[in-house]
Structure 1
Amino acid sequence: MTLLKLRPALADDDVTDPAIPLVPDHMRVYAIGDIHGRLDLLTALHAAIDEDMAEHPGPDCIEVYLGDYVDRGPQSAGVLDALLARARTRRTVFLSGNHEEVMLDSLASRDAFSRWLRMGGLETVFSYVPPQPGLDEGHLWLRWRSAVRQEHIHFLRDLATSYACGNYAFVHAGLKPGVPLEEQQRADMLWIRGEFLDCQDWFGHCVVHGHTPKREPEVFANRINIDTGAYATGHLTCLVLEGGDRFLIST
């Protein structure tokens, strides 16, 4: 698997806010886009991040994961295990995506489970329990619920909705225009698209997000989208921020 590293920083557009987005001194942020069950890509990206830390030591490093760890790809349970293991040796922030929210709802509701299966949840179910011919949906729900480990449930319930660092804000989907970060609604941060994506105004922070897959990262004056559709494209993207510099690590 080829790893693409881009240095120096990505080119900046003119921003409507006079301040150039910065992270605090002596910090480096590794922001990781939507994983969607691709444990193979996450493993490769972790190796690349570790290599980058070894080649460029010094700052206090933090890894920020933007949500959508589960669904669509084949190894969602394995991805959650890998993230829990990573948190034991690294400074990490885990944000919720809309798919984690629906997975939690599905643990409590058969109706939510039925809807979830149609948005990529079936692959997650089969990462916990093997397919069994002739098993109806109701029995599949019961088997899956009994197979989900409590450690995974606690992880999903503890996910944050946003994280701010310097002039950057990290969320899964985006922010509602005109609303301060501290007043944003959870539903918007997990699900918003058009209203956020079409907005060219400054949000008070440069917003780093996923949720809307593109073949290449999108870098705008007010936001950076690093969802590169990993489950379908094989490209899982990490945005690295240090001072005013920005670069990419991608599988």
Structure 2
Amino acid sequence: MKTFVIGDIHGGLKALPQVLKKAKITIEDTLIFLGDYVDGWSESAQVIDFLIELNKKHECIFIKGNHDLWCEDWLRTGKGEVIWLAHGGEETQKSYESYSEEQKQKHLAFFQQMKPYYIDNKNRLFIHAGFTSMHGVEKETFKLNYHFDRTLWETALATDKNLSKKSELYPERFTHYSEIYIGHTPTIRYNSSNPINALNLWNIDTGAAFTGCLTIMDVDSKEFWQSNPIKTLYPNEKGRN
């Protein structure tokens, strides 16, 4: 039994079976998805279909990302926020054009069941973006930070990697968990097409929405596998701008 974490997919369905096959996933394995399943490439609705079926065969944990939050609001109200439409929402709407209201309601229920974060039995935290409370994720007062915060990631990058965890200068947010896994901020912004480790945090979003790949990682061994660059799987599309 292994535990795998999967980065942001952003409608790139063709990449998902690629990484599951490369990692040799079995029905005994646990799959933890870090969110942002939609918005970007043309198969957002189809990604959700795939995940719903995958959940019937595997132990899956689905974290909710900011793009999932926006899509959920649209499925519930029929109204899409301007910021969502400008950042992949239009492509997601198009992917739902052939879907019945019943199918959309099934997807809405799936979004509503997603977790804001997950802590496993080894005290590893899995969250889409981050949190700001120095007392830990459970004490966060502004819950949208789970989906949008980047200060956790920025703090990890800015902290001296040689700083002892016992030091008074060590940022307290990182002391509550053995490891933290996030998505949300593409590593390609930092000139890396691979996951990035800073302190005890791992960023698994390797830019699948843009020019990067989808990544899956074994959280125990830290071995990871990647899809082809998603732009090569959708050569006639632009992905997210």
Q: TM-score range by the shorter chain?
A: 0.7 to 0.9
Give the whole-Å Cα distance in 1 for the aligned partners of 2:107 and 2:76: 15
Q: How do residues 188-207 of structure 1 correspond to structure 2 at under 5 angstroms? A: 188-194=145-151, 196-199=153-156, 200=159, 201=171, 202-205=174-177, 206-207=179-180
Asked whether the equivalents of residues 128 and 147 of structure 1 are also in contact (C-alpha less than 8 Å), the reply is no
Match of 2:73 among 98, 105, 111: 105
- What is the match of residue 172 of structure 1? 128
Give the AA of the match of 1:167: N
1:232 deviates by 1.9
Match of 1:187 among 133, 144, 166: 144
Give the whole-Å Cα distance in 2 for the aligned partners of 1:229 and 1:208: 15
- What is the match of residue 38 of structure 2? 70
Match of 1:229 among 181, 204, 207: 207
Asked whether the equivalents of residues 32 and 63 of structure 1 are also in contact (C-alpha less than 8 Å), the reply is yes
SS in 1 for 2:20: helix
Give the whole-Å Cα distance in 2 for the aligned partners of 1:193 and 1:82: 29
Q: How do residues 115-126 of structure 1 correspond to structure 2 at under 5 angstroms? A: 115-126=83-94
Larger radius of gyration: 1
Give the whole-Å Cα distance in 2 for the aligned partners of 1:220 and 1:28: 23
CA-to-aligned-CA distance 1:145-170 (integer Å, 9 cap, x gap): 94852210100011101111213100
- What is the match of residue 18 of structure 1? none
Give the whole-Å Cα distance in 1 for the aligned partners of 2:77 and 2:100: 10
1:247 deviates by 1.4
Q: How do residues 1-251 of structure 1 correspond to structure 2 at under 5 angstroms? A: 27-49=1-23, 51=24, 53=26, 61-109=29-77, 112-129=80-97, 146=101, 149-165=104-120, 166-184=122-140, 185-194=142-151, 196-199=153-156, 200=159, 201=171, 202-205=174-177, 206-215=179-188, 216-242=194-220, 245-251=221-227
> How much is the aligned-residue C-alpha RMSD, in angstroms?
2.3
TM, length-normalised to structure 2? 0.77
Give the AA of the match of 1:79: V
Q: Do the aligned partners of residues 124 and 82 (structure 1) sit closer, same or farther apart at CA in structure 2, a change above 3 Å counting?
A: same
SS in 2 for 1:69: coil
SS in 1 for 2:125: strand
Asked whether the equivalents of residues 176 and 196 of structure 1 are also in contact (C-alpha less than 8 Å), the reply is no
Give the AA of the match of 2:38: V
1:186 deviates by 2.4
Give the whole-Å Cα distance in 2 for the aligned partners of 1:179 and 1:66: 22
Asked whether the equivalents of residues 177 and 195 of structure 1 are also in contact (C-alpha less than 8 Å), the reply is no
Say which structure, 1 or 2, has more relative contact order (CA 8 Å, 6+ apart): 1
SS in 1 for 2:134: coil
Q: Do the aligned partners of residues 85 and 148 (structure 1) sit closer, same or farther apart at CA in structure 2, a change above 3 Å counting?
A: closer
SS in 2 for 1:81: helix
SS in 2 for 1:73: coil
Identity of aligned residues (%): 30
SS in 1 for 2:223: strand
SS in 1 for 2:114: coil
TM, length-normalised to structure 1? 0.74
Flag structure 1 segments of 5+ consecutive residues without an equivalent: 1-26, 55-59, 131-143
1:233 deviates by 2.3
